[in-house]
Each structure stands twice: as structure tokens, then as C-alpha cells.
Structure 1
Amino acid sequence: MSILRPNGPITTRVAPDYDGFGLGNIPAWLCEIAEVPWDGMLPPLAATVRPVWKASEIRTVIVFLADAMGERMLLEGLKAGRAPCLASLVAGERSGWTTRLTSVFPSSTVPALTTLATGAPPGQHGLLGWVTHFEELGGPTEVVRCGPRDRPGSWSDGGAVVPSLDDLMGLSTIHQRFSRSGVATCAVAPAWYVGTPFTTMLYRGAHYHPYDHVDAIPDLVLAALRSQSRRDRLLVYVYHPPLDHAAHTRGPYSEEFGQSLAELDTILGRVLSVVPEGGKTLLAIIADHGHISTDATRLMDFASHPELLGLLVHAPTGERRVAYLHIKPGQVEAVSAYVTERLGGDLEVHPAADLVRSGLFGPVNHHPGLAARIGQLVLLPRGNQQLVCTGAGIGPTLCHLGDHGALMPEEMWVPLITCRI
């Protein structure tokens, strides 16, 4: 069964759902299947968007996360005949079930992967963008390496004793929960992420199976399956990042993205072929976010607005599609007025506290550091603008042809494709 929706023109924004119809509800659903306690997590997927299988029927769950496989991007690829394996699953073969879910806010890798790892919304886990302001560490931090935005390395270089991402988040991962309940977990992910702070935090509690090339994924999945006896329950978590790179550099509807989707489809077909049949394995294919098309004409560089930067404690943090402003004392009204008068055609300015109250970052039980991490004002693009600040980071400011992080449907809607093997 499939309820993916090949929508027409994009006309509205999509708010994240945390009550059963969003990405954040997958972890508790997986816990239910494995009969693992999910207390403190967002609730499981609603009954109307998940297959009706008894926990006793499933012994192994394979979660295959295709970074940036947004719903609209997938549908375009299926229409072009790029992904016959995915097309067959979407059509309902192998007891397949397909639905659409919302991503989280921001609709980006760091918040979404952390939500999938913990079952907590971004407002609770507190990892709120590629660059997040951590007062505990001293300021703007590139989360993936847990290091200062403006220089290479991590805050802990040289033996400095600083809080880890685990400390800054303060939650158990799904792998730790499964392990405490006697369920083994494995993570199949790139070798180049081994030992990095973000990856170490995400897969805490899992056995890490690194690969140098995505072609190795099926063999590593098979090795993980063979490592467990038939009586044991097992969670295998696969992370596949190439689609995101293709969408950023070439565009979400480019030939290069289509080729990357076709390569993913081949890998999925091989995964299906190596898993022993018998109906005891659930394969769940998910994505963390989609992409919206953009280009150089839609690049908004804060470095071109020194008057605005002079009112801020530091350059904006967050993502290219959502900016958090940490403002000098007494200057909030001046910043709001500047953005409204000078940039209002491209950007919306919102009091951060209003967005928190609206539930955009998740329901109550927020992280105690949330307010400090998102600042006083939040900027959202009205269209497909990307927000940068030349000179704020350590690398060049490149123009992306695809981006994500805000609330447009292309960014927010993601598929959940499941089947039993």
C-alpha cells in the first residue's frame, strides 16, 4: 500500500508532526516492534501510517536511511524509471507499505539524525543545526566535529576537558535502549566518520560496521545478520549519504541526483537478495529530509550587511535555510527592524520564544539550554533563499543548487517504505 502523494505546485509550508505522523515517531515504533521500553520518547507512529504487524512476527529490523531522499525527489525518480526496486516496494510488493511523514524542524541532518537516534524532538535533544551555539563550549560549534566554527579541529583538541555531544544532549540512544533490553544493534555507515564526535554519539551502544564505499553495504548487512543466532533479535541501522551530496552540488532534480538514486536502488536490491526470506525481517527505508532547488541568485550573504552583524554577538548559526540570531543586549528591536525593512522581501523574522511555544521544535519537555542555543530571533526564508555568512566558517562559501532546513514541502515530506522479507 502506498500513500505517497505526487503533489502539484508547492504553495504552503509544512509543520513538523511529533504526534504520530513524523520522523520522530519512528524510534518508539521500532521499540514497540522489538518489545523494548520507549518511555520518554515521542509516541510511536500512528496506526494509520504503519503496517499492522505483531511484534512476535519480527525478529530483525533493518533501518536503511537514505540521506536526503525527499518524497518529491523520490517520486520524480520513480517517474523517470530510475529506481525499479523502490518502485516495486512502493507498489506494495513483498507486503510493502509506503507512507509520507514529516521531517523535524530544522529539516536537516543534525537535528533529524539525532531525533532518529533518540526518539526526542530537536527542542529536547538540543542539537539544532549544522552550527549550534553551545554556551557550554564557548559559542558557535560545528556539531559534526564538535569544534569551533571558525577554526579546524574539535573543542577537545590539546587535551581540553569539555562536555561531549552526549553530555550536551543528555539522552540515551535507541542502540543503548535496545542493548539494555538484550537486543543487539549494528550500525553500517561510512568509515570516514569513525571516531568523529557526532557519529560516536549517534551510534553509542551499536557495533559499528564501517564501509569505504556504499557498494559494500549489502555484504556488511549480511555479516551483521550472520553475527546473531536465529533466536536473537537484531537492529541493523544503515546510513547512506550520497544522495545529499548530489542534491547539494548538482540539484535535487539533476541528472547526477538521478544517477545517485539509481545506484541506491541497486544497493537496496542487493540488500533484499542477501537477507534470508521467511517473513521475520522488516526493512524500513527512510530519509531525514528532502531538498528545495536553489541557485546563486538566491544566495543571501550576511557578510554584505555589516550593520546587521554589528548588532549580533556573532554571525548567525543554524542552517542555510534557518538562521538563529544571538543579539547584543538591548538590540533586539533594532535587529528586527533591520531585517523587516532591508530584508523583509526575502526573510521572515520570528521571536525565538514564539517558535518554541508554537511547538515547531517539539512539544514540552524542552532541553534546558534550548533558549540559549537558538538566540532571540529566528530567520526563515520566504522562498528558496539560502543564508550564508562569508568568513564566518573555515571553508569557502559555496553556492548550493539544493538545500534544506526550512518548512517548504520539498524539504519536509519524506517517505517511509517498508517490507517484510
Structure 2
Amino acid sequence: MFDLSEKNLARIQENNIPELTNTPIETFPFYQGLNLANIPTSICHWFGIPAIANRPLDLPEPPIAPKDVRNIILLVIDGLPFDRMHSWLEKGLQKSHRHACWKKIQEEGLFTPLTSVVPSTTANALTSLWTGKVPAEHGVIGYELFLKEFGITVNMILQTQVYPYLNNDTPVLSHNLSHFLPVPTLGSHFRDQGIQPFAFQHEAICNSGLSQMLFPDVTKVPFTSPQDMWQKVSDLLAEQVSVRKYLYLYWSDIDTLSHHDGPDSRRTRHAWQWFGHLMERFLADQARSGRNDTLLLITSDHGQIPTFIQPRYEVRFDQKFMSMLKMPPSGESRCPYLFIKHGKTQVFHEYLESRWPGEFTLFPPADLVTAGLFGSKKMSPLIQNRLGNFVALPKGNAFWWWANKENRLLGRHGGFSQQEMVTPFLLLLI
């Protein structure tokens, strides 16, 4: 296996933004070629079609000419940290003398770390993967965002209002969600180039608000289990051999279990082991087909860190904290966006240091955007309205919990630790 882990992990660790070196940021996004936002441009390049996006991945070319690529599969495993997939590969390669799929990975696979986008969260990352744009360009910069154009805070995955008194179960965007983003998505581009795009997701989320935003002109394929997903992928590859296809596969169980049981919990580890076993079976089946015309890409949107339930981080009960804000925080629990009331900035700073000394640092959004933390250095009105007037960056495993419900999460993401920001990327011709 062409393992670039050591080389590219060192590059990621050395990467920094000079204007932000003395900040709580541990791992910076590597938008210059080792970031998930670079994947779509590389996919277009490997298909031999024009790109609609930013720079490609800074990786060696795959062992196949673009004209010979019939299919590209992008598997996104939500919440899978780099180290877990690296360990899986190391253990699997010990079986390469007995298993054809592992022999193929050993001889032809390419593996490297990449970085997530900022903040390191699903809605943001998947939007970059379906547009090729950095967060500052597409604007989906968090799980919960204040949308000034609607005057409300919205869950960006479900497209529902966040707070119960605003009727949380009702979609808030009455217009066509396929036109919500300010940038084009890849589905239409692929179809224009003669490539049929498919999106495989669990049936429970196949028609979510985020899916409607990202999948115009994409054939959605719901599945009920990982076994069902792999079977449907195999059937599609076998039945439509002459059609060039892009298959996007999304599996969320690792992220869900990491949130509720912790990223290092036994249940989380077992779920990954079972999913890895199913991948082995799929790869073995494809190896027997002998087609060698499909690029399989495996990555994740972000990792996670373990977080203990600590009442001192539950700001929903902190009346003084909330009284200084125009509205509850938005964004991510580990990258909150704040709308501090006029004239309250100094007293808010002082309260921050007295309640959580050294754990949170406030930054004007313009300082972060113009430094390039969100990709582009241009501060658009869209981004400015969603970031508030201050962004709080946490140190260590600190977070804020402001949701009007009990905090049960033992794992989180959205921050800048290496566990959250560094993601795996495997490329294999099958």
C-alpha cells in the first residue's frame, strides 16, 4: 500500500495560518490539497471532465487513465477518525496472503490523512463534498445557523426551526431547497458530462432538508442497513456496466454511537468492525469480477473527541450568560457563534474569564475569515450574518450546551483538535 500517513500527517501538523498561530487552534484545515473540499475537483479530474471547484487533492494519480474510469464511488463514513481506519488497515494487511481484497489493497491502495473543513461538522463537510467549495463560499457553516433572511435559527440538516416555540417540526424554507445554496452542486454537472450520479443514504434521512439541498438531479437510493447498501451498490455496478456513474455512499452509525456512547466506546468499536467486515466482502466480490474500472474512495467528514457531561458547560441554565446575548448561541457546541448585545462586549469577556478561565477565546469573525480559516479570505454578507459578532474557540475538550433539552452526549466534534480535524482517505481501483 502506498501509505502517505507519516508524510502527510507531518505536513498537516506543520500547517498553520500565521495570523492565528497563538490561538486555541490545534489543527488547521489544509485547504491547499489535503482537505475534503479538494476531493470533488479530483473526482472530476479522474473522470476526465471539467471541474467546477477549487484545487484538487495533492496526491499521486490513480493507476488508471480517466477515459477508462467507468465509476467512482465515494464512501463517507460519518465521524470516523483517521486513527481508527489506519488501525483497521494495518490489521487487515496482515491477512493479505489469505484474502484477495487485502492483497489488492496492499499492492494498489493509496492511504493518507486529510483535514476536515471549519467547523468540523457534517452539514458543512457534506456541502463541500457536493459543491467542491470551501465553507466561506457555500455558507453552510454549522449544525445550527441564524439565517437573517428568515429571522430564525435553523437546523441545517433537517431544515427545521431550532426552538420549540417556533414550531420545531415544520420545515422553514417554503421555496425549493435545491436553490438554497449560493453555489452549484455536482449532480447537475455530472449529468451534463454524461455521468449518472447516485446518492445512497439510510431511508430515514434520504429526503432530509440537507439531502434536498445537495441532490438536485441525483438519483437517491435509500437503504435499510449496511448489508442492504452494499448489495444495492453491487447490483447497480453489475446491471449498468456501460453507464458511467458516480456513487455517493453515506453511513452515519459511527457518528451516532460516538455522540451517545463516546468515540472510544465498545459499541462504537464493534459497529466499525462489523462495517469493516461488510466492506471486505464487497471488495472481495468486486475483485472476483475482474473489471478494474471503478475508483473507490473512502473518507469521513470529521472525527470526534470524548466529552464528559459537565454542568458548568451547560449555559442553558446560566441566566447571566444568556442575558448578554441577543439570542442563544448557534454554530457548533465546540465552535459557537455569538450575537452579543450592544454595550455588553466587555462585561461578556470578563464573565467568560471568571466562569471558564482560559477555556474559551473570542474572535471577531472578520479576523478568522480574512485569515482563511473558512477557506476563502473574502467576508461575504452571507457569512457575516451567520457568524454573529464573535466566534468562541474552545481549548481542550471544552464546549457549551445551550439546547433546551438534557445533555446526554459523550462525544462531540466541530472543534480543532487533531481527533476532530484529521480524517482518513483511501483510494483503490476495483
Query: Do the structures match in fold with TM over 0.5?
Result: yes
By how many angstroms is 1:4 displaced? 2.5
Determine the C-alpha separation between the residues in 2 that align with 1:82 and 1:410: 24
By how many angstroms is 1:53 displaced? 4.0
Matching of residue 416 in structure 1 with residue 425 in structure 2: yes
The 5 A counterparts of 1:132-151 are 132-151=145-164
Runs of 4+ in structure 1 displaced over 6 angstroms? 79-88
Give the structure 1 partner of residue 388 of structure 2. 375
Matching of residue 154 in structure 1 with residue 163 in structure 2: no
Give the structure 2 partner of residue 3 of structure 1. 4
Number of aligned residue pairs: give it.
Answer: 409
Determine the C-alpha separation between the residues in 2 that align with 1:241 and 1:82: 25
Amino acid in the other structure paired with 1:224 = L
Of 294-303 and 310-319, more deviation after overlay is shown by 294-303
- 8 Å Cα contact 2:146-2:153 kept in structure 1: yes
Cα displacement string for residues 32-88 of structure 1 (whole angstroms, at most 9, x for unaligned residues): 11122213x12111145x546431232111111111111123345567779979997
Determine the C-alpha separation between the residues in 1 that align with 2:236 and 2:294: 13
Amino acid in the other structure paired with 2:56 = P
Determine the C-alpha separation between the residues in 2 that align with 1:235 and 1:130: 27
Give the structure 1 partner of residue 18 of structure 2. none
Determine the C-alpha separation between the residues in 2 that align with 1:366 and 1:190: 36
Cα displacement string for residues 285-328 of structure 1 (whole angstroms, at most 9, x for unaligned residues): 01000011211138611123322211211100011211000122
1:249 pairs with one of 260, 268, 272: 260
Mind listing any 5+ residue stretches in structure 1 that lack a counterpart?
Answer: none
By how many angstroms is 1:368 displaced? 3.4
Distance 1:93 1:195, change over 3 A: same
Determine the C-alpha separation between the residues in 2 that align with 1:229 and 1:2: 31
Distance 1:91 1:293, change over 3 A: farther
Of 126-135 and 345-354, more deviation after overlay is shown by 345-354
By how many angstroms is 1:3 displaced? 2.2
- 8 Å Cα contact 1:251-1:402 kept in structure 2: yes
2:246 pairs with one of 235, 240, 244: 235
Distance 1:402 1:88, change over 3 A: farther
Cα displacement string for residues 144-198 of structure 1 (whole angstroms, at most 9, x for unaligned residues): 1211101322344xxxx64454443222221221011111011111111132211
Determine the C-alpha separation between the residues in 2 that align with 1:125 and 1:405: 17
Determine the C-alpha separation between the residues in 2 that align with 1:308 and 1:185: 47
Of 212-221 and 95-104, more deviation after overlay is shown by 212-221
Mind listing any 5+ residue stretches in structure 2 that lack a counterpart?
Answer: 14-23
Of 402-411 and 215-224, more deviation after overlay is shown by 215-224
Distance 1:216 1:367, change over 3 A: farther
2:37 pairs with one of 5, 19, 24: 24
- 8 Å Cα contact 1:2-1:97 kept in structure 2: yes
Matching of residue 36 in structure 1 with residue 37 in structure 2: no
- 8 Å Cα contact 1:319-1:405 kept in structure 2: yes
Determine the C-alpha separation between the residues in 2 that align with 1:298 and 1:413: 29
Identity percentage of aligned residues: 26
Give the structure 1 partner of residue 184 of structure 2. 172
Q: Secondary structure at the match of 1:193?
A: coil
By how many angstroms is 1:103 displaced? 0.5
1:198 pairs with one of 190, 196, 210: 210
CA RMSD of aligned residues (A): 2.8
Determine the C-alpha separation between the residues in 1 that align with 2:218 and 2:386: 29
By how many angstroms is 1:123 displaced? 1.2
Distance 1:181 1:81, change over 3 A: closer
Determine the C-alpha separation between the residues in 1 that align with 2:239 and 2:177: 30
Matching of residue 349 in structure 1 with residue 362 in structure 2: yes
Q: Secondary structure at the match of 2:140?
A: coil
Amino acid in the other structure paired with 1:148 = Q
Determine the C-alpha separation between the residues in 1 that align with 2:388 and 2:401: 17
Of 317-326 and 167-176, more deviation after overlay is shown by 167-176
- 8 Å Cα contact 2:101-2:280 kept in structure 1: no
Determine the C-alpha separation between the residues in 2 that align with 1:319 and 1:64: 24
Amino acid in the other structure paired with 1:176 = S
Q: Secondary structure at the match of 1:110?
A: helix
- 8 Å Cα contact 2:181-2:213 kept in structure 1: no
Determine the C-alpha separation between the residues in 2 that align with 1:91 and 1:380: 43
Matching of residue 74 in structure 1 with residue 74 in structure 2: no
- 8 Å Cα contact 1:67-1:239 kept in structure 2: yes
Cα displacement string for residues 18-44 of structure 1 (whole angstroms, at most 9, x for unaligned residues): 1211110000100111122213x1211
Q: Secondary structure at the match of 1:192?
A: coil
- 8 Å Cα contact 2:262-2:411 kept in structure 1: yes
Distance 1:301 1:165, change over 3 A: farther
- 8 Å Cα contact 2:123-2:143 kept in structure 1: yes
Q: TM-score, normalised by structure 1?
A: 0.89
Distance 1:344 1:365, change over 3 A: same
Amino acid in the other structure paired with 2:278 = I
Q: TM-score, normalised by structure 2?
A: 0.87
